[in-house]
Amino acid sequence: MRIERLTARPDDVASALTRTALAFGALDQQLRRHPLREAVLFRARLEAARQCAAVDGFLIDPWQLAASLEGLRPHIRGQDVYERGSEVDALRYAFEQYQWLARASASQEDRIAEVLSRAALPVGRLGVLWGSALAFREWIEGGEERAPFRGALVRLWQKEGVFGGLYPVTGAAAFRTGSSWDERRWLPTWLGALEREAAGIRDMVHTLERSWRNARAQAGDQRRNSKAALAIDIIAAHPVISASTLAARLSVSVQAACVLLERFGERGLVVDVTRRSARRLFALKDLAPLRDTVQPRAQVMSGRRRGRPRASADTDDSSIEGKGTVHDFMPVEQWAPDYSELEAAITEIDCLMTKICL
């Protein structure tokens, strides 16, 4: 007996569709032309990559991913090689999820185009939210991976005019262990996950705005023609920024930009996230966790140059304790095996076998 699948009805998704549409509209209105938009999207993409990796079985620290994206060496934790290797694998997987959401490669773009073409029919027939939900289910039931559809969703929202940019809202929580795959239950679950992700980005905007305003207020007691407040605006608008980039944005010298950054650092407004003396990157103090995940640079011995140290010509090997000169080491005499006893035993066995045969 064949049991037909119960498809979702409008009553099953109407309220979830309304709440999600309102949450999307509020987020788009809040971020449209917002001065901190790029910084918010950077944080949101980190969180989205973390959620996608966690649902797929890989737990990471998002700040480690941020360090990798900015060209820094993240500190890999773990008690042994196995734990550190597992953390590296998880970080690599999260980086791939970030690529799907923000910086897709050529091969990933081909897969995303395939997803968009397959989702065009249900989206055109049922609308962007309901149609994309059904297309997502069909994609998964066809044995495909989740990552290509997640990347396609980010582009679908912008293509259909839902968002004014590539906002990383994918509803990853709907694929957690224990979630019902029944269509009438899963569709509202996925729409609810989209709503919560949009609300989380809005909360992130409020947090960054408070940090920005506090830093601007504390940096404002300067001369009338000071560019300190403008410098805070520029630093807040970038996830991380270097002194040369800040100088170009402010139209000042790099030395003047370094003076501002040092002053902000003394007041606790910005932090150096690189933990190095050259090519440093700065950010507002709420990115301090990024600094904690960056691996410090190895200490260089004073007076030592790069490469293998030279052998000193006046070094006497015999003066080193436990060491002798090269002439003290004699080659070991080559071992020559003696097979005489073995050959005698074989001869005796041959004689015995001959007598037995006779």
Domain residue extents for the chain: 10-204, 219-293
Q: Is the predicted pLDDT of residue 99 greater than 90, yes or no?
A: yes
pLDDT value at residue 314: 47
Residues in the chain: 358
Q: What share of the chain is helix, strand, coil (3-state, %, to 5)?
A: 60, 5, 35
Q: Which pLDDT band holds residue 315 (cuts at 50, 70, 90)?
A: very low
Mean pLDDT of the chain, nearest integer: 84
pLDDT digits (tens, 9 = 90+) for 247-299: 998 989 999 999 999 989 888 899 888 877 677 888 888 887 887 787 666 55
Residue 239 or 258, more confident: 258
Nearest in space to 65 (alpha carbons), one of 79, 35, 44: 44
How many whole angstroms from its chain centre is CA 306? 31
The string over 97-111, giving b where at least 16 C-beta atoms fall within 10 Å of a residue's C-beta and e elsewhere, is bbebbbebeeebeeb
Give the model's pLDDT for residue 348. 84
Bigger pLDDT: 285 or 135? Answer: 135
Q: Is the pLDDT of residue 352 over 70?
A: yes
Class of domain 219-293: mainly alpha
